[in-house]
């Protein structure tokens, strides 16, 4: 059984705004007490708490990383106390170090402003991680070479409300990465797969549209979220690569009982790459979000399709459980979609409310794919 740290080249953006995998948590909270049974948190998280703070430290383990420690401090708050509509804003940081010399650090920010008229995100991070390269595609061979991934990422996003549940706006990211083999055999494998061993530097602008009717940001019980993003880079604008990426994510949430203790959630994610897509932008199966149950980076290619369903049951005080299942595939081009192998997954999870007033959960998931069981610890729901 293996705990899993996500492939950093692909997941630094997510780490800026959410926690990565650790196998357990020790939680330190603000002095403000959690809401009692009669104190219902309203749909915008306004329960009389201006600031909620938590620190989530924990050990991690991975066969290629060894043992390590990940620390995630986070704060949630209302920017404007008079704003009765905006969700709570979030500031988060992370730091990771392991016994094989890997390390990563970064910080991220989410702001909800002016009665939820504006949604702003930003973050930056660096990773130097010793990891495995299994090759490209969705076929399991079990063979790998060892490499070091070095990556820098900075992101910014601004969305404005353009309709009652619709937000549109711009993204801008700076991505810099390289992958170094541990020996001549590894270098040859990276070269054969077209993986960059020299630095690539890409400035990646993008357009995004969200339709968000969820009742809550952190742990929705009703509503839906649709995200559409198109982005790319060009050598004409000074980038190393010329490429485009299109992604569509659809998630829906349904309360199954009058007390909102049982929630059914499902999602579908489609990602496509066109042109000279750098390896750090390849989507992949696995990690603590899309299709838990696989080593992140073992199944990766230019394009991905995945879908999953999850039943969430909050049953006692701050504790809850979850059961989930999904299926997906990666493939080099849409003309080869039919020949790519499907990768199923299923699992069970525990939930603990780190910040009850904000419905912010820490989660422990045990998942099975074709390659056997894996476990994950993260902050926030998978989708």
Q: What is the pLDDT of residues 70-128, one digit of tens each?
A: 888 989 899 998 998 998 899 999 999 999 999 999 999 999 999 999 999 999 999 99
Select the more confidently predicted residue: 140 or 176.
176
Which of the four pLDDT bands, split at 50, 70 and 90, describes residue 364?
confident
Q: Out of 18-32, 179-193, 225-239, which region has the weakest mean confidence (pLDDT)? A: 18-32
Confidence (pLDDT) at 43: 40
d(CA 266, CA 223): 11
* Averaged pLDDT score across all residues of the chain: 84
Confidence (pLDDT) at 288: 66
Which of the four pLDDT bands, split at 50, 70 and 90, describes residue 361?
confident
d(CA 190, CA 194): 6
Question: Which residue carries 């729901």 as its tokens?
Answer: 381
d(CA 121, CA 124): 11
d(CA 161, CA 307): 28
- % the chain with pLDDT above 70: 85
Distances (CA, A) of 206 to 136, 217, 231: 26, 23, 4
| Burial category of 287 from C-beta neighbours within 10 Å (exposed 0-12, middle 13-18, buried 19 and up) | buried
Which of the four pLDDT bands, split at 50, 70 and 90, describes residue 360?
confident
d(CA 289, CA 10): 12
Tens of pLDDT, residues 304-356: 999 999 999 987 888 999 999 999 999 999 999 999 999 999 999 999 887 78
Q: What is the mean pLDDT of residues 139-156?
A: 90
Confidence (pLDDT) at 64: 66
Joined together, the tokens standing for residue 240 give 């190393």
User: Does the pLDDT of residue 229 top 90, yes or no?
Assistant: yes
Residue 95: enclosing H or E segment and its boundaries? strand 89-98
Tens of pLDDT, residues 10-59: 444 444 433 333 322 222 222 233 333 333 344 444 444 478 888 877 77
Instruction: Kindly calculate the radius of gyration of the chain based on its CA atoms and give it in whole angstroms.
Output: 20
């Amino acid at each position: 059984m293996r705990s899993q740290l996500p492939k950093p080249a692909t997941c630094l953006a997510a780490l800026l705004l959410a926690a990565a995998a650790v196998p357990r948590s020790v939680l330190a909270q603000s002095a403000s007490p959690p809401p009692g049974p009669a104190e219902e948190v309203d749909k915008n998280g306004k329960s009389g708490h201006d600031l909620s703070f938590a620190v989530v430290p924990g050990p991690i383990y991975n066969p290629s990383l060894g043992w390590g420690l990940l620390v995630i401090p986070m704060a949630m708050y209302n920017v404007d106390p008079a704003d009765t509509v905006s969700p709570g804003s979030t500031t988060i940081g992370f730091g990771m170090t392991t016994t094989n010399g890997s390390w990563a650090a970064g910080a991220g920010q989410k702001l909800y402003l002016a009665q939820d008229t504006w949604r702003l995100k930003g973050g930056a991070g660096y990773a130097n991680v010793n990891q495995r390269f299994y090759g490209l595609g969705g076929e399991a061979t079990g063979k790998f070479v060892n490499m070091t991934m070095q990556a820098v990422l900075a992101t910014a996003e601004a969305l404005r409300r353009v309709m009652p549940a619709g937000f549109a706006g711009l993204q801008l990211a700076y991505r810099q990465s390289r992958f170094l083999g541990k020996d001549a055999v590894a270098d040859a494998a990276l070269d054969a797969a077209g993986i960059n061993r020299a630095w690539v530097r890409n400035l990646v602008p993008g357009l995004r549209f969200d339709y968000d009717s969820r009742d809550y940001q952190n742990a929705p019980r009703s509503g839906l979220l649709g995200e559409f993003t198109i982005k790319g880079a060009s050598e004409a604008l000074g980038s190393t690569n010329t490429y485009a990426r299109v992604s569509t994510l659809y998630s829906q949430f349904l309360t199954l009982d009058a007390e909102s203790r049982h929630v059914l959630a499902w999602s579908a994610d489609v990602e496509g790459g066109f042109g000279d897509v750098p390896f750090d932008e390849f989507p992949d199966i696995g990690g603590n979000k899309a299709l838990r149950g696989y080593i992140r980076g073992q199944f990766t290619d230019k394009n991905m399709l995945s879908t999953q369903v999850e039943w969430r049951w909050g049953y006692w005080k701050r504790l809850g459980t979850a059961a989930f299942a999904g299926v997906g595939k990666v493939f080099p081009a849409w003309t080869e979609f039919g020949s790519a192998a499907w990768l199923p997954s299923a699992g069970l999870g525990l939930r603990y409310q780190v910040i009850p007033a904000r419905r912010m959960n820490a989660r422990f998931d045990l998942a099975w794919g074709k390659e056997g069981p894996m476990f994950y610890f993260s902050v926030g729901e998978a989708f």
